[in-house]
Amino acid sequence: AFKGKHNERSAVFADLSADEYLQVRDYMSNQKDLDISVNALTKPSGNFLFLIDLLLPRKSDALGYLDNNKPKPVREATAVVFYGTLGHIKEYVVGPLPNPTYHRDVTVERYKEELPINARTVTIGEYALIFKFINEEVFTKLGKIVKESFDVSKEKTLNSFEGMPRGVKSGERQTWISFFRDLSGMYIHPVGLEVLINHESTNASLWSVKRLLYNGQYFDSVEDLIKQYDAGTVTKIMYKPVQNYASLKPKSKPTGLSPQQFYPQGKRFSVKNNNVMYLEWSFAFGLSSLTGMRVFDIRFKGERIAYELSVQEAMSVYGSITPGMILTKFLDSSIGIGRFAHELVRGVDCPYAATYIDTFRYIDVSAPHRFRNSICLFEHNTGRPLRRHFSDFFSNSYGGMVNSALVFRTITAIGNYDYLWDFIFYQSGSVETKVHATGYISSSFNVDGNLKYGHQVAENTIGNIHTHFISFKVDLDVLGVENVFQTKDMKFMNVSLPWMPERYAMVPQLVEAQLKTEKEAALRYDTKTPRYLHIASNRTNRWGHQRSYRLQVVSFTGDSLPETEPEEKSMSWARYKVAITKHKDSEQTSSSLYSQNNMWTPAVDFSKYIEDDESIENQDLVAWVTTGFLHIPHAEDIPNTVTVGNGGGVILRPHNYFDEDPSIHSPDGVYISPG
Amino acid sequence: AFKGKHNERSAVFADLSADEYLQVRDYMSNQKDLDISVNALTKPSGNFLFLIDLLLPRKSDALGYLDNNKPKPVREATAVVFYGTLGHIKEYVVGPLPNPTYHRDVTVERYKEELPINARTVTIGEYALIFKFINEEVFTKLGKIVKESFDVSKEKTLNSFEGMPRGVKSGERQTWISFFRDLSGMYIHPVGLEVLINHESTNASLWSVKRLLYNGQYFDSVEDLIKQYDAGTVTKIMYKPVQNYASLKPKSKPTGLSPQQFYPQGKRFSVKNNNVMYLEWSFAFGLSSLTGMRVFDIRFKGERIAYELSVQEAMSVYGSITPGMILTKFLDSSIGIGRFAHELVRGVDCPYAATYIDTFRYIDVSAPHRFRNSICLFEHNTGRPLRRHFSDFFSNSYGGMVNSALVFRTITAIGNYDYLWDFIFYQSGSVETKVHATGYISSSFNVDGNLKYGHQVAENTIGNIHTHFISFKVDLDVLGVENVFQTKDMKFMNVSLPWMPERYAMVPQLVEAQLKTEKEAALRYDTKTPRYLHIASNRTNRWGHQRSYRLQVVSFTGDSLPETEPEEKSMSWARYKVAITKHKDSEQTSSSLYSQNNMWTPAVDFSKYIEDDESIENQDLVAWVTTGFLHIPHAEDIPNTVTVGNGGGVILRPHNYFDEDPSIHSPDGVYISPG
Ligand SMILES: [Ca+2]
Ligand SMILES: [Ca+2]
Ligand SMILES: [Ca+2]
Ligand SMILES: [Ca+2]
Ligand SMILES: [Cu+2]
Ligand SMILES: [Cu+2]
């Protein structure tokens, strides 16, 4: 059924192939002077090639290639090396692909300073040592206590979950680890033991246990706990088996399939490499190991509407009385959002008939990994008209069309939480980006005072209050890159009635403004914001109005962390509902790989993009959108949070961009006239 | 596929049957002393039986019958009579059905005062006279002008669209009528002629033309316009034919069907009379001619969650420089929302495979009308998981289920606009009510100064700025009628870290409050509102928390009409995002049939429900929810507004109501474990 020719030039946005990852890995590994290991079990004391990812081309180069027959930008990768031997992290540009011949240290160019080693993500190699350390220094030593309390033995262990950040100031790497029953859905099985480990040194032999929390009581050392436990000054937790309330095993037998969607006349979209075509739409896509899903060069009827639309960050701030979560502020892109885009389950994660796409990644591994069916793509009949009108006044007729749209999805399971990331392409020229949260909540053991921080949701288990803040990058290019940022709203004005001028009435008027600088256009959460936000061209449509796309943000967030907190700099994008900046290749992301473990001196502080307060008039503009919701967990979050009501997003809608609704040209239109 | 036994007692909420309408009509018609006509063309000077609608039983009677084997409440109707001969409106209770033997004037009991005749809706009978009046007093007299300007002739007329309210104070009935080309989608074809008609008298021979607007210029009379036109002091509009840009005829040929949904193993829901069953859900339904869709006795797993969930009002406030829309404030329930629930088009308005239900109404007619297929009901696979988790840390497994939900829908085309009204029943125990707007915008002729009130969207056509405010009634009964209203939110508190008490951090805490009175619980638009709103029982779930349902409002409204405006009283529900009142049978609706044409002394002023500031602790509570959006029309509203982004609603979500997510018991659950 599908007709049309794919744009081969989308390749500039394509993720690295398995072979390209290998080439970069081997090239880096061969630089003997760098002394880099590519073994995923490399210890923190060694030098480890942590990440290889596509380096996006400079925007001007990409546009030159896409639009002006300029040469194809050189294909390059970013390689991230954790230098345990040297105490720092380096980022390299490696190229040209597919056969690299050069590498260049770009760390200071990108971040203005060196990256300290403790800003790094905890690797598999470090985790292996942490688990070994805990086993030897905590569980083995606490043998009798953990047996009596948790039935821990050689054969039966507990699982761990970490609080973040790892300390209270730069350079620290002290992690509160909470323990959970070794059951599926462990995240809601806290047992009441939390341990503070100092793993600041890259030399694991210098690590130490700094503090313990057992059943709400603090201990300075393992020995202290043992002593007091034996002396009878500790309220003991006595082990008893529990039924696994976290299990996702259905409790009822299937009774028959729910409704299913099918394509009676074939698919109306097509994927070739990383280019997608669907009715009037086309776009390129990629999946960053760090930030996750992204689409580029989004065109409707051949005209580019956005250069980039991408996930940037998923942040959560928790409250708890227990140390394992009292300070916890997760910044998922530091662990890797796209990294956890696993195989999608047909019929549940996406419809049976969807198209599934494999992705390849290289992060914290020894060799590139293939993730089968980790992106899905389907046309979805929303079961609702996109538009319709029935008339029986004066004329009798009906016209309408069903809202059938293309959905492009990944789902990332980052530890306990699963986020659904959808980009939806509508026949009316709108694109929507939507996020939904599901999976397991984080929880803590119910100790005195913890009900201030959440509700009890299972035996001894508190579901801790937290926020979900999501950052999206929206680089609309409305008829080229030179755009302005406009707001529109309604204001009641007292006006004299023209046919009885002595009489006044409050009448809604349209109020429009063009914001001039980045600071003006950084729309803070705690301020009243105009209801309509537009990225506009100075070119006008047939009716003389500036052609624009409107950003309609759907969000249930609220206050973010106060700016007085030193960690806040690492999530300063969350201050704004929407912030508009002048595009810079050097301001690619609102967050960074190094934000989580160095929140106090983050490699990227988004608010700095705005600090120079540049003009945003007739510039290439980027909108940074914050969405999300406050989550007060409740019993119905057990076993999993449901997606209904737990999401947010932004709709990009044409507003005087066209001369009429483009869906009038859709082949799905229906018209009925009587007789 | 469907199993289960329908609840016959839902009949207490059932709309009147065609026969019941006839019985009431004939009974009223037979009361010779009342002298009522049942002819739809009855003139305003006559006495006309305008409306027959179900009288809902008193809630205590209905609950006695539903829950306690009390006798079935007597079935009664409300009959509304416009007494042109007497200058007032009467409401009667007529019963018992199906064979009425009594009627009782309840006007003053319901509204505390008599209803003046000019509070009435304009009937078909009055419209016939208005059209005749306009034809004779305007078009015939303006013969040459309307021919030259608009090509109006005996064979070719213009269509009219009215501004509301009809004047500026109680008792007035002066309507600005704007004229539009006689094309399908006339609403966006203004020609530049507006006429003010005084039709205050029920005696049409006393009606007059008060003012005219032609091409932006005002005239005191038809004669004045003719004189000045002939004298050359008028800027003429010269007729030229236009192509019908309002046409909904598809501009492209169909290329094949879009994706379709089907039930591979049969329907999992069933309708019998006005009772619906779907998996764990059951409810009764009805369609009020005035307020539209409503459901009652909503139960999940046999337990009642809500007594009533209903549409109350759809309000729009417009801005314009032209008199036809400068004062316009539409209150659709005064015309009748349910009245315009017409046949739904298979495959567009609802899926092909949906179940379609007929409704019967008696409003502004001579005999009851049947509306074929005017409600649809279908299970919809949303194409998204309701919940899922993929795990590859510590344990390897996948559990999830697709979000398949029951949608119950009507679509009402009230003049230019079409509203989609959905009630959606999810397997997680949530119910969502959603409204979307589509259809034609209202527009005005482009005269000087009108761009302050909207954008140009077609030749000479301004799409006028306006609001869409929707009022829903949500009568949750959480484990019985005695409930409390709780709010929950998050607050950052400066707390000392237990393991290093000298160090402080801002940590989110849960803040809960129980609001005590109606005034406290009237949450105004311009105030910061707690993010979680709950109707709760004092009974607790397994974990000791009050069982509750949360109201999550999705809204894009903003400022409503200032309270200083005399018309605001008729829409005072729009002051509040959510307002909680103590349930009273006498406070059935937030608006009234008489609000539109007597905005200044409305029969129902919602804010009065709150004025007595009653206790809302351990009372039967009703939540009144406002949702909607600001609409700044743009070129893409031509020909029709699209539903994407143009809606709002409220999700009712269990929050500690259950002990766990009930969807874990769904037959749709999927679990995969490796090997
Ligand atoms: Ca800047
Ligand atoms: Ca841009
Ligand atoms: Ca009251
Ligand atoms: Ca109630
Ligand atoms: Cu959450
Ligand atoms: Cu509108």
pLDDT(B675) > 70: no
Nearest CA-CA distance, residue A385 and chain B, Å: 5
Instruction: State the distance between the two ends of chain B, measured CA to CA, in whole angstroms.
Output: 33
- Separation between Cα atoms, residue B19 and residue B16, nearest integer Å: 8
Q: Which long-range contacts (CB under 8 A, 24 or more apart) does A301-305 make?
A: A301/A662, A303/A479, A304/A477, A305/A429, A305/A431, A305/A476, A305/A477, A305/A478, A305/A549, A305/A652, A305/A657
pLDDT(A582) > 80: yes
Model confidence at B2, pLDDT cuts 50, 70, 90, reads low
B378 touches chain A (CB under 8 A): yes
> Which residue of the set A111, A417, A426, A532 is catalytic?
A417
What percent of chain B shows pLDDT beyond 70? 99
Nearest CA-CA distance, residue A533 and chain B, Å: 12
pLDDT(A673) > 90: no
**Three-class SS of A597-653:** HHCCCCCCCCHHHHHCCCECCCECEEEEEEEEEEECCCHHHCCCECCCCCEEEEEEE
Stretch B407-426: mean pLDDT = 97
pLDDT one-digit tens code per residue, B534-575: 999 999 999 999 999 999 999 999 789 999 999 999 999 999
Place of tokens 């099985």: A189
Stretch A302-317: mean pLDDT = 98
pLDDT(B163) > 70: yes
pLDDT one-digit tens code per residue, B58-73: 999 999 999 999 999 9
A211 touches chain B (CB under 8 A): yes
Q: Which of A268, A429, A644 sits opposite B428 (nearest CB)?
A: A644
With b meaning 16 or more CB within 10 Å and e meaning fewer, what string describes A284-312? bbbbbbbbbbbbbbbbbeeebbbbbbbbb
CB contact under 8 A, B510 and A458: no
pLDDT(A1) > 60: no
Is A214 a catalytic site residue? no
From ligand 1's centre to the CA of A610, what distance in Å?
A: 5
Which ligand is the nearest neighbour of the Cα of B645? Answer: 6
Measured torsion, CA atoms of residues A649, A655, A657, A662, in degrees rounded to the nearest 10: 80
- Name residues whose C-beta falls within 8 Å of residue B473's C-beta, 6 or more positions apart in sequence: B308, B309, B310, B311, B312, B589, B590, B622, B623, B624, B625
pLDDT one-digit tens code per residue, A472-486: 999 999 999 999 999
Across chain A, mean pLDDT equals 96
From ligand 2's centre to the CA of A578, what distance in Å?
A: 14
Number of A–B residue contacts, CB under 8 Å:
540
From ligand 4's centre to the CA of B587, what distance in Å?
A: 13
From ligand 1's centre to the CA of A517, what distance in Å?
A: 9
Q: Using an 8 Å Cβ cutoff, are A628 and A648 in contact?
A: yes
Chain B positions touching A636 (Cβ under 8 A) are 428-429, 653-658, 660-662
B385 touches chain A (CB under 8 A): yes
Chain A positions touching B428 (Cβ under 8 A) are 636, 642, 644
For residue B1, what pLDDT is reported?
53
Minimum CA–CA partner of B461 in chain A: A543
- Separation between Cα atoms, residue B370 and residue B376, nearest integer Å: 15
Nearest CA-CA distance, residue B512 and chain A, Å: 9
CB contact under 8 A, B387 and A456: no
pLDDT one-digit tens code per residue, A176-229: 999 999 999 999 999 999 999 999 999 999 999 999 999 999 999 999 999 999
Is the peptide bond prior to B73 cis by the omega test (within 30 degrees of 0)? no
Interface test with B, best of A330, A379, A391, A651 (most B CBs within 10 A): A391
Model confidence at A396, pLDDT cuts 50, 70, 90, reads confident
A672 touches chain B (CB under 8 A): yes
From ligand 3's centre to the CA of B582, what distance in Å?
A: 6
Nearest CA-CA distance, residue B31 and chain A, Å: 33
Of A7, A86, A118, A6, the C-alpha closest to A602 is A118
From ligand 6's centre to the CA of B413, what distance in Å?
A: 13
pLDDT one-digit tens code per residue, A61-118: 999 999 999 999 999 999 999 999 999 999 999 999 999 999 999 999 999 999 999 9
For residue B586, what pLDDT is reported?
97
Of A457, A425, A400, the C-alpha closest to A631 is A457
For residue A4, what pLDDT is reported?
81
What percent of chain A shows pLDDT beyond 70? 99
A527 touches chain B (CB under 8 A): no
Q: Which residues pair with A438 in a beta bridge?
A: A418
A residues 460..479 contacting B (CB < 8 A):
465-467
Is A417 a catalytic site residue? yes
Nearest CA-CA distance, residue A216 and chain B, Å: 10
For residue A558, what pLDDT is reported?
79
From ligand 5's centre to the CA of A181, what distance in Å?
A: 21
What percent of chain A shows pLDDT beyond 90? 95
pLDDT one-digit tens code per residue, B477-516: 999 999 999 999 999 999 999 999 999 999 999 999 999 9
Model confidence at A675, pLDDT cuts 50, 70, 90, reads low
A183 touches chain B (CB under 8 A): yes
Model confidence at B396, pLDDT cuts 50, 70, 90, reads confident
CB contact under 8 A, A556 and B561: no
Chain B positions touching A262 (Cβ under 8 A) are 259-260, 262
Catalytic annotation, residues of B? 332, 417
B347 touches chain A (CB under 8 A): yes
pLDDT(B254) > 90: no
Minimum CA–CA partner of A2 in chain B: B255
Q: Using an 8 Å Cβ cutoff, are A444 and A190 in contact?
A: yes
pLDDT one-digit tens code per residue, B591-626: 999 999 999 999 999 999 999 999 999 999 999 999
Phi, psi at B655, each rounded to 5°: -140, 100
Q: Which of B413, B497, B638 sits opposite A391 (nearest CB)?
A: B413
For residue A420, what pLDDT is reported?
98
B residues 233..262 contacting A (CB < 8 A):
245, 247-262
Q: Which of A211, A407, A660 sits opposite B636 (nearest CB)?
A: A660
Length of chain A: 675
Nearest CA-CA distance, residue A667 and chain B, Å: 4
Which ligand is the nearest neighbour of the Cα of A466? Answer: 5
